[in-house]
Structures are given as structure tokens and as C-alpha cells.
A and B are shown apart, each in its own frame.
Chain A
Amino acid sequence: MAEGGKPRMWDRWTSHREEVLQSDLMQSWYATRSRRRALAAAGLAGLAMIWAGTVVSWHLAPSDTAMWVTISLLGVSVVTTVPVIGALNVATRGTMSLAESRLDERQVAERLRAFTVAHRIMLAVLVAVVVAVLAADTEHVPMAAVVVGVIALFETHMLLPVLVAGWRMPDPPPDDEEDEEDEDDASAG
């Protein structure tokens, strides 16, 4: 709270974000485990596009073809990953995006597990990148490839935990109201 009792813009934004994360926004996107896994796979495909852009820039830059192919791949990647990450953040109820102080012990444990798995995958990605760079001709590396490669590394590092959490997440327990509806249906039948 800011002085004068008025909530600051950051507090308002945080509470709005928490509200959205606890809502059932776009629920049909992540209602079942297979849909959440499809979302995670789409997110991985989005990340793969940035890596593909790096490869294209490495081999073809500087050229118009390299520029337009890379820009297109980055554009499709953004269009894919933004809604996927949004949906998975709501599905996991902000386990990966809220401050740890806003989470309970189960959510903190789930977050740590997701970070651990993502950390291992990231290590494998780094090893693969090092092997690929050592095996390639590094005498004339286009600057575009370095820039897109760094973007790919950052994006992979940032988004993997959310994708892992979405992939691993079991079906959440039904809400109280859904339980009551089930009981009503059972007693009616």
C-alpha cells in the first residue's frame, strides 16, 4: 500500500494478476492432461522455431532470405508461445510465476520439481549447443546467428519451467460445487 491508503500501481497489477491466475480463464484449453501436454508440446515447438532461426541465420546470413525466414520463424514463435504460456500459467495457478510468498507448501514443492527438471533439460541443451558449435566451422559466424542464438537460449531458459510444470501437472481435484453437482446427479439417478 502506498501512503494515503491508495494501492500503488504495482500492487493493483499484482492483485489483478493473482485474480486472473485463480480464475478459470480459457479452461477448455487446459482442462485435461492430454490438452495440457499438447499445449506444452506447442510451446516446445515455438522454442524450436527460434533455434531453427539460429540455424538458418548461421548458414544463410547475411542475406534477405535469412532475414525474412528468421523474422517469420520468430513471429510464429511469439504467436505460439504467448497464449501457450498464458494458458499454462493459469492451469498451474501461477505456481511458476507468482512470488514464492504467495504459494503454499505443495505449490512450492511442485515449483522446485519443475525447476529441477527444467534445469536438467537446459543442461542437455547447453551441451548440445557446445557440441554443435565445436563441430561447425566457426571462422565466420554471422552476428545475426549469435543474436538469435542468444535469444533462443534466454527464451528456452525462461519458458522451460512453465512447460515442464504444465506437462507434469496431474488433473486438479474438482471444485466443491462440481462435487455437489455430482452428488445431486447420483441421488437423482
Chain B
Amino acid sequence: MADGKADKEHVHNRIAVLRAERGVSRRELATALGVHYQTIGYLERGEYSPSLHLALRIAAFFEVPVEVVFSLTPFPRLGSA
């Protein structure tokens, strides 16, 4: 039941890709967002879904719309489209 709920509420994200693209470390991103550096790792691994507030702040940090970073469906792999 809990696992099913977690699957249903899973939010896919591209934080790791954006972070690598911009050359930002997890600790740097965490410091900019005011969260623990492990939280960035859990977000990237999809083991934690952020609040709307944190999601918007992450999008603002990368200066992209929030739907570029987060999606309810998996992001297409590079070169697949």
C-alpha cells in the first residue's frame, strides 16, 4: 500500500543532469538552497520528492521553468527523440 502510493507519487527530476551541465557540486547546490547536501543526493536518486517550495527554488537556481527540472513522467533519454 505504502509502496504503491510512493510509486504513484514519484516525481522524476533532472537535477543531476542540470548540476553536471552547470558544474555545480551537490554541496554547492545544497548551500544555495539551504538544505542538507544529502537531501540533494536523495532528490537525484528519486528517493525524496521535494515540496512545491523547494521544487520552485531548485528551478529558480538553474534559471529554468519548473517543468524542465521535474516531471510526473520519465524524461526522454538523450538522443531517443
Contact = CB atoms under 8 A, between A and B. Distances in A.
A172 B26 CA distance: 13
A174 B44 CA distance: 11
A93 interface: yes
Interface residues of B, number: 19
A174 B37 CA distance: 10
A184 interface: no
Nearest to A176: B25
Interface residues of A, number: 12
Interface of A: 93, 103-107, 170, 172-176
Interface string B8-47: 0000000000000000011100000011111111101101
A172 B38 CA distance: 7
B39 A104 contact: yes
16 contacts: A93-B36, A104-B36, A105-B39, A105-B50, A105-B51, A106-B36, A106-B39, A106-B42, A106-B48, A107-B39, A170-B42, A170-B47, A173-B38, A173-B40, A173-B41, A176-B27
Contacts of A174: 41
Given A105-B50, A172-B42, 14 more contacts: A93-B36, A103-B36, A104-B35, A104-B39, A106-B35, A106-B48, A107-B36, A107-B39, A170-B47, A173-B40, A173-B41, A173-B44, A173-B45, A175-B26
Nearest to A94: B36
Contacts of A172: 38, 41-42
A94 B46 CA distance: 22
Contacts of B26: 173, 175-176
